[in-house]
Amino acid sequence: MIRAALRRVGRLLASARLATLLLAFIGTWSVVATLVPQGGDSEPLVAAWASAHPLIEPVARVLGLHQAFAAPVLTVCILALAVSTALCAWQRTKAAISRGRALRGALAAEKQGLAARHDLEIACDPDLSEPEVLSIASETLRRLGIKTKPQDDVIMAVSPAWSAWGSPVFHWALFALIVVLLLGNLSRSSGLMGVAVGQSKIDQPGSYGLVSAGPLRDWPGVQRTIRVDALDLHFKTGGVDRGPTPTVSVLDAQGKVLKSQRVYPNNTLNVGSLTIYPADYGLTATVSLVDTSGVEAGRSVQFVDFYAKADSGTAPVGFLKVSDAAGNAELRVYVSVPLDRVAGGLAGRLPTTPAARVLVTSLDDAPVVDQVLHPGEELALPTGSRLRLIDLGYYARLQVVSDPSIPALYAGLIVAMIGLGVAAFARQQIVSATVMTAPDGAKLAVRLRLWRNAASSRSEIETELTRALSGVEKGSTT
Amino acid sequence: MTFEIVVMWVALTFYAAATAMYAFGVTFSKDTLTKWALAASAAGLGFQVVSLGIRWARVGHGPYLGFYEVANALVLCVVAFFVVVAWRNPRLSATGIAVMPIAVLLLGGSMLASKSGIAITAKLASYWLFVHVAFANMAFAAFAVSFGCAVVYVVRQRSASGKWVKRFEKLPAQDVLENLMVRFVLVGFFFWAIMIATGAIWANEAWGSYWTWDPIETWSLIVWLIYAVFLHVRYTLKWHGERLAWFAIAAMPLALFALIGIPLAFNTTHAGIGGLGKDL
């Protein structure tokens, strides 16, 4: 009973109709997904669309159309397509084995065998000699795009056995690609990490501002440190301004530099599964807390982002908590950097006269102190301690991706393209012909197998050969 | 008007003349006119190559950026592919009646667009740009020629009076034409797959992610899936004849939409090819 049900499911998954329907469904789903805004409920576009389409919105929500490419419906279809592709690849492999055998066998065709077993029999003009018949047939086939070779008393155009392997190789590679993509998503992490110039961060979740990671991402397995050595705001090479370009180093657990290079679009840093791209840059303000006895209690690097809507042109990425002696948070410190004004707006770089605006608030965000500091200057906090601005600088926001599946993905793509190339361009055909003498005159015996990418068709070959050899076709045998 | 643009207008004129000659040649069964139409297509191609060559030297990059260049490159590939096919297989020359109007409309449209050069940005400065765009153009060219075969197939099939059968009598038999239509789809499908694969590899290098479901990425996949369905219904469900031809006719405009329509309609990272999107 269970076996019968499994067999039915297997037959269903192996059916060409299901594969076609799945492809059509995934295509249609993708079309719809491009028409519906993508993202979470908080996305303004999604919210606007929802209020503009109150009737469709519940359906879109139930189907998961706002996150269409992560929706369970699509995932299930892709998994079903993967199984279907594997079963299809298996069937095609079996077909390729038998077709390859037929192609190899056809190469050994000889006159007697062909005379006994053929697909077409074409009566020839009695005045034509055997070599003339073969020559005319060869020329006729050539005009139809089929180039034959003479072999003893036979002319033949037989595709090589490998021509049968394009489709199975492509389907197996597609299956492998789907598996690699799924596994890759489980083991992949991608996030944004801000690193101040001259500083480093360990590659672990806490170092990222934003990170998404699959459940199989091996964080503790590989200990790597990412360091930003320098930032060039206008790095030029090859006559192209590459934009803000950080020089990034990756170090191992022992502090040994594994790789170091400038990182800009199309010139990413790759170490093992780790790939580092430049996402953005911003400013940093290094501040220190000096206690009542004049001892520096600790330093902190505050990130400041460029923000066109702010008067100063920058906005703090976060804030610094100042605690009392018992460790209870009492104040918040926000740091921004007023930018230089230039023609057309604000300059996206450190101001010519370095200075930072320090806003100290209570925990409920009521301003307590608001002061502009230059490097080396201090301000007094209500707690009795002082806040000193040490320095201003830059930070690079790096997109750090760890994806061990990339090499396998590229390999899968290459194999898939080779398979598809063979399927698209290689002919799969057997055309062989010989002359046989019969009591009612000479006849051309033709064996035809036009499986794929044939230059002509059976009916056209039959018509043209009949016309060329001026005979009357007597019908097929075998 | 610069010399480059004048030469492009000459190319367009030749293409328009070729289209007219195909229309008259096929309708009135004038073989000589059909032969001249192919020659006019080839001549137009020569002028287009010259114009784009001048532009390449002037702006410092190939025809990849902006609607004018993108549409121009598509036309170049469509006409080149068609001329090669018709030259190698003269029996297919009459399909020009359906292929050449695509070239005329697309090139005519591009002549109305801005022709100022767009500089290569850091994200575009990669050899992948050439490979990715070249395969997109070649894929579309193959789909356009399969579209031509399909149109001619349907016209001949539906010719109740037999007039169009006679007009298209130089063409291969219907079953051969159908095979050719499928072959061109298969070739286009292969090139389109390479376009997607190289795009994914390049995106990984330039943007840090090989697939982001950007509208143009999604639509490239959609077109690929549509042609995958076409090949499945042909090879496994054994669809033949007119409905298969209608499928090829319906699919080609979607490929064109994916290439030049999406950047106009959606906010996409592929804004460089002529849309209104964010950045290059």
List the domain boundaries for chain A: 2-92, 109-159+427-468, 187-281+399-405, 282-394
Q: For residue B125, give the nearest of A266, A410, A423 by CB distance.
A: A266
Q: Give the pLDDT confidence of A77-114 residue by residue, as tens digits.
A: 999 999 999 999 999 999 999 999 999 988 887 788 88
Please indicate whether residue A476 or residue A261 has the higher confidence score (pLDDT): A261
Smallest Cα distance from B13 to chain A, Å: 33
Q: For residue B233, give the nearest of A20, A266, A277 by CB distance.
A: A20
Q: For residue A264, give the nearest of B89, B122, B229 by CB distance.
A: B122
**Cβ distance of B126 and A266 shorter than 8 Å:** yes
> With contacts defined as CB-CB under 8 Å, which chain B residues touch A238?
125
> With contacts defined as CB-CB under 8 Å, which chain A residues touch B232?
16, 19-20, 23
Question: Mutation test of the interface with chain A: which of B196, B214, B236, B268, choosing the one with the most A Cβ atoms within 10 A?
Answer: B236
**Cβ distance of B221 and A460 shorter than 8 Å:** no
Smallest Cα distance from A112 to chain B, Å: 31
Question: Mutation test of the interface with chain B: which of A17, A30, A34, choosing the one with the most B Cβ atoms within 10 A?
Answer: A34
Residue with token string 């994916």: B258
Smallest Cα distance from A377 to chain B, Å: 40
pLDDT confidence of residue B273: 54
Distance of CA B132 to the CA centre of its chain: 15
Q: For residue A453, give the nearest of B172, B183, B233 by CB distance.
A: B183
Question: Mutation test of the interface with chain A: which of B174, B229, B262, B266, choosing the one with the most A Cβ atoms within 10 A?
Answer: B229
Smallest Cα distance from A414 to chain B, Å: 9
Q: For residue A456, give the nearest of B176, B190, B222 by CB distance.
A: B176
**Fold classified for A109-159+427-468:** TATA-Binding Protein (3.30.310)
pLDDT confidence of residue B41: 97
Smallest Cα distance from B280 to chain A, Å: 11
**Cβ distance of A460 and B173 shorter than 8 Å:** yes
Q: Give the pLDDT confidence of A171-199 residue by residue, as tens digits.
A: 999 999 999 999 999 999 999 999 999 99
Helix B96-111 and helix B31-59, axial crossing angle in degrees, nearest 10 = 30
Residue with token string 């070649």: B138
Which residue stretches of A36-71 are H helix? 44-52, 57-63
Q: In which band, very low, low, confident or very high, does the pLDDT at A474 lie, cut at 50, 70 and 90?
A: very low
CB pairs below 8 Å between A and B: how many?
118
DSSP letter for A418, please: H
- State the Cα–Cα distance between residues A330 and A213, nearest whole angstrom: 34
- State the Cα–Cα distance between residues B207 and B200, nearest whole angstrom: 10
**Cβ distance of A265 and B186 shorter than 8 Å:** no
pLDDT confidence of residue B86: 93
Across A287-291, A394-398, B43-47, B107-111, least confident range: A287-291
> With contacts defined as CB-CB under 8 Å, which chain B residues touch A267?
205
Q: In which band, very low, low, confident or very high, does the pLDDT at B277 lie, cut at 50, 70 and 90?
A: very low
**Cβ distance of A23 and B229 shorter than 8 Å:** yes
**Cβ distance of B190 and A17 shorter than 8 Å:** no
**Cβ distance of B175 and A459 shorter than 8 Å:** yes
Smallest Cα distance from A332 to chain B, Å: 35
**Cβ distance of A421 and B190 shorter than 8 Å:** yes
pLDDT confidence of residue A453: 87
Smallest Cα distance from B44 to chain A, Å: 28
**Cβ distance of B237 and A31 shorter than 8 Å:** no
Q: In which band, very low, low, confident or very high, does the pLDDT at B22 lie, cut at 50, 70 and 90?
A: very high
Q: Return the percentage of chain A with pLDDT > 90, whole number.
A: 61
Q: Would the ipTM clear 0.85, i.e. be above it?
A: yes
Q: For residue B176, give the nearest of A69, A416, A457 by CB distance.
A: A457
Q: For residue B237, give the nearest of A16, A267, A459 by CB distance.
A: A16
Q: Which residue of B has its CA nearest to A450?
A: B179
Smallest Cα distance from B201 to chain A, Å: 8
In order, the DSSP letters of B12-61 are: HHHHHHHHHHHHHHHHTT-HHHHHHHHHHHHHHHHHHHHHHHHHHHHHSS
Q: In which band, very low, low, confident or very high, does the pLDDT at A477 lie, cut at 50, 70 and 90?
A: very low
Q: Which of A429, A119, A145, A87 is nearest to B236 (CA)?
A: A87
Q: In which band, very low, low, confident or very high, does the pLDDT at A236 lie, cut at 50, 70 and 90?
A: very high
Smallest Cα distance from A69 to chain B, Å: 8
Q: Say if residue A150's pLDDT is above 60.
A: yes
**Cβ distance of A240 and B193 shorter than 8 Å:** no
Q: Which residue of A has its CA nearest to B194?
A: A417
Secondary structure (3-state) at A387:
strand
Q: Which of A469, A450, A468, A441 is nearest to A158 (CA)?
A: A450
pLDDT confidence of residue B159: 79
| Cα A133–Cα A138–Cα A143 angle in degrees, nearest 5 | 130
Helix A166-187 and helix A72-107, axial crossing angle in degrees, nearest 10 = 150
Q: Give the pLDDT confidence of B115-158 residue by residue, as tens digits.
A: 888 888 888 888 999 999 999 999 999 999 999 999 999 998 88
Say if residues A434 and A85 touch (Cβ distance below 8 Å). no
pLDDT confidence of residue A478: 38
How big is chain B by its Cα radius of gyration, in Å? 19
DSSP letter for A339, please: P
